[in-house]
Structure 1
Amino acid sequence: MKRMTVVLGVALAGALMSAGAQVSFEHLKSVDLSSYFPAGGQLGDLASDVAFDGANLYIAGMSTANSLAEPVGVLKISNALSLNVNAWGYTPLITLTQAGQSRSSYVVYHDGFLYLGTGLGDGGNVADRTGIRKYDAQTGTQVSGWNGTGVVLPSDLDGSGRAECIEIDPGYQGSGQSLAVLARARGFIFRRDFATGNALSDILSQPFRDCTSNPPTGSTTGMRDITFSPEGDAYLRVDNSIFYAQRTGPDSVALERACQIFDFSSDNAFQVLINIHYLRTSAGDYLLYNRRGTTPTSLNKIFVAKRSGATWQDYAELTGDEPLPNGSTPNPFGGNIFNFTSGFGPDPSKGDVNLDGIVDDADLLAILFAFGSSDAAVDVNSDGIVDDADLLTVLFNFGSSPQAQYLFVVHSTIGTDRLDIYRVDVN
């Protein structure tokens, strides 16, 4: 869910980085999910969004079928940080019937629960077609009393006609998290309480393409996606551009407006799944986004921009064919539908092969028992054999609790659904 135009990035040893950069994206996994999202499948026919809880991934599906009653849902991928993809578990966790016709699904994870928006973009304003719901992330059970009725409809958003996306609002300067919702043709950031689903104060954030004029001009409300800095500043993907709103309080932004910071006016404004994601690293802040323009073959990539003072600069592009740790090269991304999330979790490449948060005797024994084999789960450096190099990595990191920052990407076209995992390395 971010933007970027020109590439300063270069591929080096399987990582993408720009000249003089401090952050690289090491391509760890590329996994085909198409069998879980076939035409007419119970979770939908297109992977639409991804959430992460520190160990497991949740993939939300949408339906492109020309119907107002189509199955959609969430696929849970357990043990998703294991070096061996064959050790991953796949569970259809949530299923329901919502509007098809390319009505989007979005999912976020918060404190043991999933918040799932389905049929987003549908204007029916009925729960059979669209809405935002809360589910137990372990069991997939819906919290029936959330928002009283169990669902937030577009009409609950101050009478809106259709909802577009959901995201976690971290709050102003740590003032408290809430669920942020955008609605089409409304210049607001709507917020709901995670626990109850009750409405919190809306944030008036009218997007303008030109904030330098007085009064500002180029008002637009074609809301598509939103992301936040950890301090609560908002970045909105509105039609075919990116807008920035500086947070000034729990329910306010500067001058009650968002100002355009990236101009993609050449792109088609009427596209679903135009997404953006804010990535905070120890080496700086980054925006990731996709572009769905009139020449999609040139836009089958993830754009990355880096913050420099008050502006953003083109940084890198991820194309999907960056080499994996075992030296193989996956196919490049074949379409321009992307969605992203990021988070921290155990780092098996530093020896925590059982992903329990510490490199200890259990990891050492796992290496020794598999010594000389090609067991991918304990092949720390993914070179195809468990040997001295893997053993030395465990011994070197013994007693530590290595963590890594990960970027998770779902990439979809009709008939193809793919999950890619990158480790965000600071060099």
Structure 2
Amino acid sequence: MISTARNWFIQNFTQEKYQQYLQILGREHPNSIKFRIAETPVFIPKSFEQQMLETTEYIISVIGMKGFKAMTDSSVPNYINKEGEGEHPHFMVFDFGIVQKEDGKLEPQLVEMQGFPSLFMYQLYQEDASREAFEIPEEYTQFLNGFDKEKVIKKMREIVIGNENPENVILLELYPQKQKTKIDFYYTQDHLNIPIVCLSEIKKQGNQLFYTKDGHDIPIHRIYNRLIWDEIIHNGDEFIRNQAQMIMEKDLQVHWVTHPSWFYRVSKFTLPFLRHPHIPETRFLSEYLEPPKDLDNYVLKPLFSFGGQGVKIHVTPYDFWSIDDPENYILQKKVDYASVIETPNSPVKAEIRLFYFWDENGGKPIATHNLARLTREEMIGVSYNNQSDWVGGSFALFEK
């Protein structure tokens, strides 16, 4: 998006540098990156960065309102025990599509948000690898608000571990070795020295949870939660569902980072309550008595799905009327991603995800770093972008 930086990158790009970039990213954990990595970062001008940050500040002001939890209570399923959820999530992410206005100017439009962690640790390696392989100029950084790699790791340690012994803090996921995001788990374990534990391995004795290490049961005091709860409840086998219900029982002596309820509270469910120039008009499907006349300008989304499952980009009246539970869907004004990231071939579209950390002991949430996803397709997720070049997982570089 910064034309001078974009032209410089393309002119100096070689396949040899790209292969070096991939090698650097994977050298500490070979064969652990299971998604396509794009050839280029996205160079973001200061004005665009500020528009994203101003939008997130507005959203955060809504999340911080006294009535926010009451407003979003109906989003949290009955199988999620709200006990110990706290007053706000420890982590949030905000996804912005890059769109082009009629006057040709580019602006961000919020697509989605989550009260849930992302690839926080893996993304720390993007800038280092890119700088080493592509010799990225020093006047650009992937970080915000004065953060750098070590400061992010320090903040993660404070939030995830707190005052506990790392042995009593776990990263919880379902079959972590099979997840596409497992590279992030490994880097998290490297830096925080906490074990990666599968949901299937959790035990309960009284009001305490345990995992097994070297033949001994180790008590779990804090859980860094990476479970997508909806996927477990609806798609897991009976044993896994029972495990999920077990660790959601009341009065357990365990602290969640971040509590599963925030995955639902800060989500697509929140979008209909927001009004901002950089947030597309969004309403619950249940609010409509009939389809909008310009239905082709909307996207139909289930409130809770993973990886874009169930999203209808080209919505028909049949789609509108065939939904049995319209309270669990939204209609969102379509965000038309602009193909503005120049490549040696055709230009590509991009989405920027800003990472926010929020201390549980007070203070405001703060933006730390980011990821980006590049595509030529209508769907932006990396799962849809593995058959082409100059697309896939990436990161944004901001002007210092």
Structure with more relative contact order (C-alpha pairs < 8 Å, separation 6 or more): 2
| TM-score under structure 2 length normalisation | 0.29
* Larger fraction in helix: 2
| TM-score under structure 1 length normalisation | 0.28
* Larger fraction in strand: 1
